[in-house]
Amino acid sequence: MSRPAHGTLHHVELWVPDLHRALASFGWLLQALGYTVHQDWNAGRSWRLGPTYLVIEQSPDLTAGRHDRRRPGLNHLAFHVEDTTTVEELAADATEHGWRLMFPERHPHAGGGRHYAAYLENDDGFEVELVAIAPPERTRPQPARES
- Express as a percent the part of the chain with pLDDT over 90: 73
Provide the total of helices (H) and of strands (E) in the chain, helices listed first: 3, 8
Distance CA(107)–CA(131), nearest Å, equals 12
* Residue 92: its H or E element: helix 84-94
Mean pLDDT of 26-32: 97
Prediction pTM value: 0.86
pLDDT tens-place string over residues 73-121: 899 999 999 999 999 999 999 999 999 999 999 999 999 988 999 999 9
pLDDT of 140 reads: 45
> Where does the pLDDT of residue 139 fall: very low under 50, low under 70, confident under 90, or very high at 90 and above?
very low
Mean pLDDT of 124-135: 91
pLDDT of 136 reads: 60
